Amino acid sequence: MSNLLPATPRIVIPLEVYYFDTDAGGGVHNIAYLRMVEIARSQLAASLGWTLEEMNRTGLVAVVARTEIDYLKPARLGDKLLVSAELFRLEKVRSFMRFEITNAQNPELVFVRCVQTMVAVQLPGGRPQRVPEAWTKAYPQLVART
């Protein structure tokens, strides 16, 4: 895992709502929002040195332990979105990320807010592992003091 990490563990990615993201009522369906969160989480992890290739090589993977999601307003077909992802807390084996999906032209229009709890797991076997040391060193302010 790379030790050259960004100053802030946050990214914003643009996405667009496609036909397959929508339901019969024309709004984005819940599973599509989770897919968007997955894309943002994978890109955030990669920006923090934990790429999919690294996970495959080492067997140390991130597993979603909990998802809390609030669906505030429906996005619609063709909407341009911004998905922000931020690492905001680190514990011994858990990391916490928050996400917000907004309208790209009007970022005050929030469609979804989400928080995920991640656990680092070593494969095979699935035993929990410490969060990446590079993260705790780069972001000591995020380490829980409990």
Whether the Cβ atoms of residue 28 and residue 111 lie closer than 8 Å to each other: yes
User: Cα–Cα distances in Å, from 70 out to 2, 51, 96, 117?
Assistant: 33, 27, 16, 15
Q: Are 118 and 96 in contact (CB under 8 A)?
A: yes
Catalytic pick among 21, 23, 70, 79: 23
Strand-pairing partners, residue 86, are 10, 98
Q: Using CA atoms, how far apart are residues 75 and 22, in angstroms rounded to an integer?
A: 9
Look up 79 and say whether it is catalytic: no
Contact yes or no for 98/110 (Cβ under 8 A): no
Active site residues: 23
